[in-house]
Chains A and B, each alone.
Chain A
């Protein structure tokens, strides 16, 4: 009963946040000095043509009406224009991109698997390598291994992803010629090629993030190893491995999981630079293109989806707390 109530309250809160995010996105673009109908109408567009295009795109309505139309379309779909020249966006309609002549949902459907593939693979890689490096570093505190791991971590923290990506391409793609430098292959098409094409993006992202996780794990671990409960565990005669994994690491993981949830949520909204460097058309590349061309529908759709990811990731983190820390 308690958990049901918790879930319902969180769900209501998430819907409220989503409505606010969608409203804010709408208002920002209403206020901005850009005119999507103008962009769509092209050059040599007469004022009367511009009026027609505005009406066709649904931009001639007052902003509150446009917002309600947008919300209604999610449940009921939407038709732009009428007759044989009409453009239909079936429910759930997150908008229609006039720039790309496609529904926003189909654009998201195409780009989401790319971003998910990059984000989840990289996340697993950096969580495992980052925490392992942090733990090893803490256990070898002050020794050569610790210094080597932390120096690598500092390089990772300081390096911009664009630079790491380009260097990785130059080394593994052009110099050694062992890995592909661009393009995405669908998992359904060929799982082996999918992973092969993702090795460089995963490693690039993981190198940068693992460094942060490694440093965080190390400091948390050092702190935990000095705590009374660890001393007690050791005094009870528990094996060192059990002390580290079951007692110290479990506590260390609480802040790590918080950060991990937020990072993965944000990354699912688009690994912009990595996608660009490796020529992969994910949500980040979609969003950047939409911003450059003032493609309001796509921007709204992707922003709302990104908000969903962050909210869901937070929600999962909160649930994970309950597993990791019985006091929560």
Chain B
């Protein structure tokens, strides 16, 4: 389901930072957690959500594999996210993560037996192909389409409604599907785990109405969906648990209550009344309620906090005439006061200082600090670098989304730079105007941009490529530093073409350091997200990635 929330790699607006309970990782087994085994089935789980609409057409969904779309859609692969341990890609509809050939250019999958849609129809490789082809139709644009630029020979393809098929996706029989890519791509198993790769039954998914009456493949089917009010999910009676070890399919029914006010939502869950006991919140707990939770042992036991995850950063526009000189950019690295940013984000419980780019918990992440200046920054060092560069009276424009936390963080950055003699003018913009400016084709209009980012799937690729590959400058893409470094591009290409995850991780770590060497970005903090659950909800946890609860594992006390 499309959630136009920040973080999912895409919309890089800083709304993420919230206060959070101490202790970092998940609190799944806190004192108030009911003992619930995978055998606990039944009951009605309520998910309270501030979103007013859901996208129930997988072609357009931005939902993560383990949140709401995981309840409805199976893909060839999915994620295994436990309360502890590294996230892993695992087979879902397919029998394996994929078999690469031609150096990673061709990927082959075989489907399991006993897999069905919610209408009772068996799921075939033709349905997987059709689902992917639908994402190319202009009427169904806007999904999480990592596959689009990778699948070969798709130029000008208008989608399957035209009667045309993609020749680069081959289905020799109903159980086999072969993808031909235009370059070797080691993260392809992660790409096929995204919602837009879900199978859709051919001829039964009109572009205009499938969103209202979707045919699903996960443990749940959509009984009704009223935008702004609720979506009621009931068991998909054709879902075969034996083929799907990654989803608990616990609750008998799930009601997504939409259009909730986050403050009222948090209060409802803190109060834990009869209707709230079977519920959890899909939204971050607001700072005021988080403080309230700290003093309420019952609520505190029901609070789940993510490890430090989404990165808050200042993109340094290297195309700005004022920032072409590396020494000036290095001065920005030394001058930043991360301690002040932590405070602006909600305190040490809400954010950890960050000096690197790759999300903690993802293969390739290596802690280091290229510009050691202490968490409070080193304005004197910054001043001396500026003097060496012969730059005086530097005035920079910092574009920032106009939400309260981004505003507070940008003011903290402004003050820190002021101590180093750099004047910062804050350009506060609505989320849409911000992304139009920062992701547009013109490099003018800002020198610095405050943004935040969480990958759409746990690969270092999604930390680096969208934000720093030269192909991702302008045209709505998120290289808002506008960095075009052939060395970085070469590392990205090499890492993407490396099939072995650990080997690829080492190259991503080099890319991370190379980008920091260019001083094209000032990492500020890794944020934490906190969520509340009712007292009868169990198996409610956040793994090392993503910074969201695993909806597909939650069950109710029976």
Contact = CB atoms under 8 A, between A and B. Distances in A.
Interface of A: 32-35, 38-50, 52-53, 55-56, 80-81, 83-88, 98-102, 107, 110-111, 166, 169-170, 174, 177, 181-184, 276-281, 285-286, 289, 292-294
B208 interface: yes
B52 A281 contact: yes
Given A43-B10, A43-B466, A174 B273 contact: yes
Contacts of A83: 161-162
Given A43-B478, A277-B261, A279-B257, A48 B156 contact: yes
B267 A174 contact: yes
A197 B476 CA distance: 43
Given A33-B437, A50-B475, A110 B264 contact: no
Contacts of B113: none
B148 interface: yes
Given A101-B208, A281-B227, A294 B155 contact: no
A107 B138 contact: no
Interface string B209-239: 0011000000000000011110000000000
B436 A279 contact: no
B131 to A, nearest CB: 15
A84 B205 CA distance: 10
B139 interface: yes
A42 B53 contact: no
Given A38-B476, A101-B57, A174 B141 contact: no
Contact of B227 (A33, A44, A53, A107): A107
Given A43-B476, A281-B227, A293-B432, 9 more contacts: A33-B437, A83-B162, A85-B207, A88-B208, A169-B264, A169-B267, A286-B52, A286-B228, A292-B431
23 contacts: A38-B476, A40-B142, A42-B62, A42-B144, A43-B145, A44-B477, A49-B141, A53-B138, A84-B206, A85-B159, A85-B161, A86-B139, A101-B60, A101-B211, A166-B263, A174-B268, A278-B261, A279-B257, A279-B261, A281-B229, A286-B228, A289-B53, A293-B4
Interface of B: 4, 9-10, 52-53, 55, 57, 60, 62, 137-139, 141-146, 148-149, 155-156, 158-159, 161-162, 206-208, 211-212, 226-229, 257-261, 263-264, 267-268, 271, 273, 431-433, 436-437, 466, 475-478
| Closest A-B pairs by Cβ, 9 of them | A281-B228, A85-B161, A56-B138, A42-B142, A101-B211, A52-B138, A84-B161, A87-B208, A174-B271
A285 B228 contact: yes
Contacts of A174: 267-268, 271, 273
A93 B145 CA distance: 30
A45 B208 contact: no
A280 B230 CA distance: 11
A183 B46 CA distance: 13
Contacts of B261: 182, 276-279
A80 B260 contact: no
Given A34-B432, A101-B208, A111 B264 contact: no
B53 A56 contact: no
Given A85-B139, A88-B208, A110-B227, A285 B259 contact: yes
A261 B400 CA distance: 41
A81 B476 contact: no
A88 B261 CA distance: 33
A184 B211 CA distance: 23
A85 B159 CA distance: 9
Given A34-B432, A34-B436, A110-B226, A46 B142 contact: no
Nearest to A294: B432
A43 B264 CA distance: 32
A14 to B, nearest CB: 29
A279 B264 CA distance: 9
Nearest to B211: A101
Contacts of A183: 229, 257
A159 B145 CA distance: 47
A180 to B, nearest CB: 9
Nearest to A169: B264
